[in-house]
Structure 1
Amino acid sequence: MNITIEQDFWALFPEAQISLLIVKGLDNRVDESKDPYFKDLLAKGAKRAQDFISEEPFTQNQVIQEWRQAFAKFKTKKGARSSIEALLKRVSQEREFHPINPLVDIYNSVSLSYAVPCGGEDLAKIQAGLYLGKAQGGEPFFPLGADSDAPALPEEIIYYDEAGAVCRCLNWREAQRTMLTEETKEAVLVIEAINEEQGQRAQAAMLEMQDLLQAYFGLTGEITHLTKENPSLEL
């Protein structure tokens, strides 16, 4: 299996970096006795996130502006925003974060701490390789929590495999089919960056992600940073 970032993505974002962490041998089952640990982890992430949203109004913060400008470069569903905007908005509203499952909690805490979009997919559910690029349009997509198809738009930037869309509008919306669950044994965790400064934060975030994986799972996984010059990873 390959993970490949296609040329039409680099044409829009030549300075981008897509950071991957491949981890296998997981036991991602929820243990409610660990809820206080993950609540604390998420709360600490939310506190660190406040450094990135000091401006008023909220939309004037640099992180928000950079990702809104990025989303303006390709076709999106109306109202689609970067996943990091959604997390930072919750912080600005002083809303509490609750545990979901260990992998998701870890990447959400890292996403908050470094103000970078993070996501993850169950590698066992990816069919014949994972790609990031422009949609042809009509790729099947069943969002988390939905019971009907919401296919990708032509020229929308999506993660996809042989069976359809995996994430729409970069990491905006997740498909049920490949999402991380308690049954996930092997995963790819992804951090997106579209400029050099974000890329530096993403690299630091990935190292922290490894530390958190080691602390909880006893696994670190392998990090790869995909760029225009190095656009593909063979697993």
Structure 2
Amino acid sequence: MPDPTHALDHAVVSAEVFSLRPDYRAALLGVTGLSPGPTDAAGEALLREAESAASAALAAGPLEEIPHVAAWREAYRDFGAKPQRTRHSLEALLRRAASDGLPRVNRLTDLYNAISVLHLLPIGGEDLDRYEGAPQLVRATGDELFDTMAGGTPSTEHPDGGEVVWRDDGGVTCRRWNWRQGRRTQLTDETTSALFILDALGPLDDDALEAAAAELAHRLVALGDDVHVAHRILRAPND
């Protein structure tokens, strides 16, 4: 069984990323003892709640004017991405939730997608058993490997130089900060140990970030009798 505390203790955000966005914070949850599986009744209910919340948020005004959505659009421009072409995960989920509905993937992915929409912040999930080393948020050189799907076929690609990526010792695990996660460490119906990353920029204060992490942890604990959750916040030095 992987040690989530070790992964969290050695997680880093590079100085180059903090230079780009000094207001960035990440809440990390390392979780073991999960009982995985497909979408279940509890997950379905939470997804429907999130879909209703997304519809209400979009009815109140343009999605682009939601403060945390706007902040992430700005962050994408800061490292050279075009937010209209590669939408950050929060914006993509809100748009999907309010139109076609959120995807039903598996109980772990369903849970963090719903919490992402309900708390209006990007969240990613990785299988700790498939992780190599500790999570690192860096600006890519362009030589790193990222395993993905292209036209329904497994494919390997490289991030753009300067792109903000999450990676481990085996390569990139998520491109463009929180845009697209890789296949190697994706959560599945068999995942029993996971890493969750909650991304926050200035418009989302520490209390709101902690509330999202606390709800996610609370709901994860319900997914097994032996669930253990380790928690850490990464922030800029002297913040």
Bin for the TM-score computed over the shorter chain:
0.7 to 0.9
For residue 21 of structure 1, what is the aligned residue in structure 2? 29
Could you say what secondary structure the match of 1:200 adopts? Answer: helix
Aligned pair 1:39/2:44, yes or no?
A: yes
Cα offsets for 1:145-165 (capped at 9, x unmatched): 542222111000001122211
Aligned counterparts, 1:177-188, within 5 A = 177-188=184-195
Going from structure 1 to structure 2, the CA distance change for 1:24 and 1:214 (only over 3 Å counts) comes to same
Of the three residues 73, 79, 84, the one matched with 1:68 is 73
- Aligned equivalents of 2:162 and 2:202: distance in 1? 21
**Runs (5+) with no aligned partner, structure 2:** 1-6
Aligned pair 1:90/2:96, yes or no?
A: yes
For residue 157 of structure 2, what is the aligned residue in structure 1? 150
For residue 138 of structure 2, what is the aligned residue in structure 1? 133
> Is contact 1:77–1:153 with CA below 8 Å preserved after alignment?
no
**Runs (5+) with no aligned partner, structure 1:** none
Of the three residues 217, 220, 236, the one matched with 1:228 is 236
- Aligned equivalents of 1:76 and 1:112: distance in 2? 22
Cα offsets for 1:161-191 (capped at 9, x unmatched): 2221110001110100011112222111110
What amino acid is the match of 2:92?
A: A
Going from structure 1 to structure 2, the CA distance change for 1:44 and 1:55 (only over 3 Å counts) comes to closer
Query: How big is the shift at 1:13?
Result: 1.3
For residue 171 of structure 1, what is the aligned residue in structure 2? 178
Going from structure 1 to structure 2, the CA distance change for 1:227 and 1:125 (only over 3 Å counts) comes to same
> Is contact 1:75–1:154 with CA below 8 Å preserved after alignment?
no
Counting aligned pairs with the same residue, the percent is 29
Could you say what secondary structure the match of 2:146 adopts? Answer: coil
TM-score by length of 1: 0.87
Going from structure 1 to structure 2, the CA distance change for 1:98 and 1:91 (only over 3 Å counts) comes to closer
- Aligned equivalents of 1:180 and 1:171: distance in 2? 15
- Aligned equivalents of 2:207 and 2:75: distance in 1? 18
Aligned length: 227
- Aligned equivalents of 2:17 and 2:222: distance in 1? 35
For residue 100 of structure 1, what is the aligned residue in structure 2? 105
CA RMSD, Structure 1 to Structure 2 (Å): 2.2
Aligned pair 1:109/2:117, yes or no?
A: no
Runs of 4+ off more than 4 Å: none
Query: How big is the shift at 1:199?
Result: 3.7
